[in-house]
Amino acid sequence: MAVLVLGGAGYIGSHAVDRLIAKGYDVAVVDNLVTGHRAAVNPKARFYQGDVRDQDFLNRVFDQEDIEGVIHFAAFSVVPESMEKPLKYFDNNTAGMVSLLEVMNQHNVKKIVFSSTAATYGEPKQIPIKETDPQIPTNPYGESKLMMEKIMHWADLAYGIKFIALRYFNVAGAKPDGSIGEDHHPETHLVPIILQVAAGERDELSIFGDDYPTKDGTNVRDYVHVVDLADAHILALEYLKAGHDSDAFNLGSSTGFSNKEMLEAARKVTGKPIPAKMAPRRAGDPSTLIAASDKARKILNWKPQFDNVEDIIATAWNWKQTHPEGYNDRQATK
């Protein structure tokens, strides 16, 4: 039987597909390539280009494949864009989930592992953030993902579709051999932007805000390596296959790094000066986000291999140096 990965041509999805194949799974991928890259998909996976919201297309994929469970990465995820175009996010993300669950139910596929996010919590009341803490998103992206979690909850009650919501904190890094990595246009994430400056593609880094109530005034985040994150999805799928009930897990390192600390770490890893300047706060940025991730370690038996940010940055730098243009396919897929 096959695992269907939706959004498997994206940054995190392509690493999950790669890990699934390394562990001997039969894998099919659905992706419309709106932000993903065909070249990121492991050639041993069968690839179907199309949109999660297109039920006729999805039905054909489910007819053709014998699917034991799905892993759902397909979504938009740029917070500032979601503030300007909220309906784009509710359409692609939230309506996409409705479409997928309907097709899963019609084909009697009852297991889904889902990319959720720390953005569903909004401004935390306490640090570290626990899975049981209030979820009050501060932007439409986080709201769209929280709605997806809630839709899965009701679909479980009505149809018995079991889900695991994995709430990622800050994902970074690349496969250590440098063959796949992060390639977003435009890039908005801190680590790849710092490395663009290190590579000479940007003049300097703008650090958004140095007046937060943190150790050095800059935001604090919790970084997790993309391969460790990918492995958590496989553990979550296995957990559902063992007959466990629906649940949600934070995925982070439980350690916080400030934006200035990340810059220093990148200077050390790359040996480059990486010029930086202070800039105004970015709208919607919570001061500190750190996960309590002991639940995933205990219940899913998740054992992240990367436990310091320099090692995480080093894998992203390796990808950057070997693929200065990323997948170099912007004309081909857009």
Closest separation in Å from C-beta 251 to ligand NAD: 9
Question: Exposure pattern of 85-123 as b/e (b: 16+ CB <10 Å)?
Answer: eeeebbebbbbbbbbbbebbeebebbbbbbbbbbbbbbe
Q: Does residue 15 sit in helix, strand or coil?
A: helix
Using the contact rule CB under 6 A, the part of the chain among 26-34, 152-160, 184-192, 313-321 near ligand UDP is 184-192
Site for ligand NAD in 114-173 (CB under 6 A): 115, 117, 168, 170-171
Please check whether residue 310 is in contact with residue 265, taking contact to mean a CB–CB distance below 8 angstroms.
Answer: yes
Rounded distance, CA 78 to CA 89, Å?
9
Other CB atoms within a 10 A radius of the CB of residue 203 amount to: 9
Residue whose C-alpha is closest to residue 61's, from 76, 73, 46? 46
Could you tell me which residues come within 8 angstroms of residue 240 by beta carbon, excluding any fewer than 6 positions away? 69, 111, 113, 162, 163, 164
- Asked whether 118 and 169 are in contact (CB, 8 A), the reply is yes
Nearest alpha-carbon partner for 279 in 192, 199, 219, 328:
219
Q: Is 141 a catalytic residue?
A: yes
- Which among 25, 48, 121, 141 is annotated as catalytic? 141
> Whole-angstrom distance between the N-terminal and C-terminal Cα of the chain?
32
Instruction: State which residue, 29 or 265, has the beta carbon closest to ligand NAD.
Output: 29
CB 129 within 8 A of CB 121: yes
Among 46, 47, 51, 151, binds ligand NAD (CB under 6 A): 51
Beta carbon nearer to ligand NAD, 136 or 272 = 136
190 binds, among ligand UDP, ligand NAD, none (CB under 5 to 8 A by kind): ligand UDP
User: For residue 50, what are its two tokens?
Assistant: 């199309």
73 scored as a contact of ligand NAD (CB under 6 A): yes
Question: Residue 74 binds which one of ligand UDP, ligand NAD, none, with CB within 5 to 8 A depending on kind?
Answer: ligand NAD
Q: If binding is defined by CB under 6 A, does position 75 make contact with ligand NAD?
A: yes
Pick 36 or 304: Cβ nearer ligand NAD: 36
Which residue stretch of 133-141, 189-197, 223-231, 316-324 sits at the interface with ligand UDP (rule: CB under 6 A)?
189-197
Under the criterion CB under 6 A, does residue 174 sit at the interface with ligand UDP? Answer: no
Spatial contact of 178 and 323, defined as CB atoms under 8 Å apart: yes
Asked if 32 is part of the footprint of ligand NAD (rule: CB under 6 A), the reply reads yes
Q: To the nearest whole angstrom, how small is the minimum distance from the Cβ of residue 41 to ligand NAD?
A: 9
Query: Using CB under 6 A, which of the segments 6-14, 195-203, 241-249, 284-292 binds ligand NAD?
Result: 6-14
What DSSP string runs through 253-290?
-S--EEHHHHHHHHHHHH-----EEEEPPPTT--SB--
* Residue 202 near ligand UDP by CB under 6 A: no
Shorter beta-carbon distance to ligand UDP: residue 29 or 232: 232
At residue 41, the 3 state secondary structure works out as: coil
Residues in 306-325 at the binding interface with ligand NAD, rule: CB under 6 A:
none
Candidates 42, 82, 92, 120; binder of ligand NAD (CB under 6 A) is 92
Distance CA 156, CA 311 (A): 39
By CB under 6 A, name the one of 115, 253, 259, 293 that touches ligand UDP: 259
Which residues pair with residue 279 across a beta bridge? 208
Q: Least Å distance between CB 129 and ligand NAD? A: 13
Contact residues toward ligand UDP (CB under 6 A) are 79, 170, 188-190, 193, 205-208, 219, 221, 259, 282, 285
Binding site for ligand NAD (CB under 6 A): 7, 9-13, 30-36, 51-53, 73-75, 77, 92, 96, 115, 117, 168, 170-171
- Residues designated catalytic: 141
